[in-house]
Each structure stands twice: as structure tokens, then as C-alpha cells.
Amino acid sequence: MQTLDQTVVAAPPKVPRRSPIALDGVSRWRAPLSILALLALPFLLPSQALAVNVLIYGLYAVGYNLLYGYTGLLSFGHAAFFGTGAYLTGIGIGAFGLHPLLAMALAVVAASGLALVIGTVSIRSRGIYFAMVTLALAQLVYYVALQASSWTGGENGLRGFTVSTIDLGIVSLNILNPLTKYLFVLAFVGAALALISRILASPFGAVIEAIRENETRARACGFDVERTKLLAFVLSGLFCGLSGALSAIHLSIVPLDSLAYHTSGTAVVMTLVGGAGTFFGPFVGALTVLVLEDVLSLWTPHWQLALGSVFILFVLFLPRGLWGTALGRLTALRGHR
């Protein structure tokens, strides 16, 4: 039995292990770090054309992630903005002889305007009804493009425009060179990532995340929820329109499928596979999906069935996506330092 004069000596505190990965301050450098990671793609992937596709569809998924991952709004209609950006870029170059950069700028503005119209109508609904409204309105855009065949090429898609060089005044870029094309697309993707990073770090970024977590509480705090969601919708459409414009420059054709519902599904799949609500996750998702598509299509003509099965496995066992799961484990490791 312990007496009062005995001294109880506590065991020395256990010194926690430091995480081998320093996460402090990484978020402020997320855009430059993402760009550095993307610079390596042409040298790691089997073809530079695939690397360009990862950039384009990664940006498309990033734009979608701004609405779904950060604002919490599930849309099934983002193909409307991707396709609008692609079609109007091609029409501007092929039919009106505009400079490619001017055609891209006008296409992005038009995609943003379309997002404003669709967003104004759709944000009045909630949950699955919101998703269905966006799908219905996107399909309306699809059928308008199908009927306006004199401008869009109808079922054959838009053809007849080719961008081989882009004159910047002091220098002329040879877009037929794969590496030059990749760097050209990366310049726009990098600018978009820097802008998105600034948006997410702003008070507006905090508000959209508050809406995602608890819309009722955000409204009770005095935020204009409807206007904020509409602005997030427009910004999402802007970045998706830019990705579509880059796709038109890359392919020199615009297939009608760029407006189809499965193109909207592509954004959803890439975002979920990479990690919704993460900054770099959509690029990880785009890389994973496009590489799997490239590999599986060589093995079987039913590659879409195999890809769908892989996606189901991701949803069941990695609900936070590849990048989201990795960040979660790093955060947990950091907490046990």
C-alpha cells in the first residue's frame, strides 16, 4: 500500500514521431506545385496526346469540382459548358476566321453566359431535382446543336478548322509539335489553377464550403446563399468552357458527343475517382480514368463495362477518391506526430 510520503514518478512523455512529409503551408503553394507535377506528364505517359487530354479533362473536372466538391451541388449537365466552349471556338476559327485566342475568349464568355442562364433556373431546386434540371437543360443544348447542323455539323460534328500555328506577335507557336501544344495548354491550365486557388482562399471560397457543410446555417449567418451558389455555378461553367475551347484547339474537330450526357458523367467520374473537394484530385481522377480507358480499350471492345466496374470499386472502397484518401492518411499521420 502506497504511503503519503512516497513520491509518484510519472512516466516520461512519449515523444511523437514527426511525419516525414511536411504539410504545413502546402495549400498556399498548391497551384505552383500542381503545375510542377503536370510538367512531368509528357515524359511519363506513353504519348503526349494522352498527356494533353489529361490536362484538358483534368481542367474540366476541376471546374466541375468547384461546384460539386466545394459547393456541394451535384450537376449532370456540365457537358453543356464543355461543348459550348468547344463548338464556339471551332465556329469562330472556321466560319469567321478569328484568331484562336480571340475565338477561345468569346467561347469562354458564351459558356459563362450559358451557365448563368442554366444556373438561374436550376438553383431554385434542391438535391436530385437540381441534378435532373441541369441534365434536362444540358440535353436541350445538345438537341439545339443537333438541329443547327449548318453551323455545328449535326451528327458528324464540327469539322473544317485546323489550328497549326498560333501567332502571339513576337513568337509563333507550332501547335503541330506535341510538346509545344502541351505547354500551350498547360499555360491556360496553370492560369486557371492559380485563379481557382485564389478563389478558394478568398472569403467567397469559405462561404461556398459553408454552404456545402450546412446550407441552413450559412443562410442563418446572413450569407446570400442563392447568389453565392449562382456565382459558383457560373465560375464552374467558365472553367469547363475553357477546357472545351482547349479541346477544340487540340483535336481540330468538335464531336457532337462533347455535348452528350455521358460527357457530363465523365466529369462526375473523374472528380469522384480523384477526390471531390480536393484541389489536385480531379487531375488524379482524369489521369486514372484516361489511362484505364487507353489500356482497357486495347484488351476488350467492352472497355466501358470494365471501366464502370472499376469505378464501382472506387466508390465502395475509396469513397474519398485516390487523392482524397492519400491526403486523409497524411493528415492522420501528421496528427500522430
Q: Which residues pair with 166 in a beta bridge?
A: 173
How would residue 93 be classed by pLDDT, with cut points 50, 70 and 90? very high
What is residue 107's predicted lDDT score, i.e. its pLDDT? 98
User: Which tens digit of pLDDT belongs to each residue from 125-138?
Assistant: 988 999 999 999 99
Sequence spans of domains, the chain: 48-259
User: Which tens digit of pLDDT belongs to each residue from 248-306?
Assistant: 999 999 999 999 999 999 999 999 999 999 999 999 999 999 999 998 888 888 888 88
What is residue 298's predicted lDDT score, i.e. its pLDDT? 86
Q: What is the DSSP string of 233-247?
A: HHHHHHHHHHHHHHH
Q: State the helix-helix crossing angle for 281-299 and 48-68, rounded to 10 degrees.
A: 130
What is residue 6's predicted lDDT score, i.e. its pLDDT? 44
Give the separation between CA 294 and CA 303, rounded to whole angstroms. Answer: 9
* Residue where the block lists cell 472569403: 203
Question: Is the predicted pLDDT of residue 98 greater than 70, yes or no?
Answer: yes
Q: With contact defined as beta carbons under 8 Å apart, do 133 and 120 qualify? A: no
Q: State the helix-helix crossing angle for 178-201 and 48-68, rounded to 10 degrees.
A: 20
User: Which tens digit of pLDDT belongs to each residue from 27-43?
Assistant: 779 999 999 999 999 99
Of 89, 129, 130, 81, nearest to 263 by C-alpha is 81
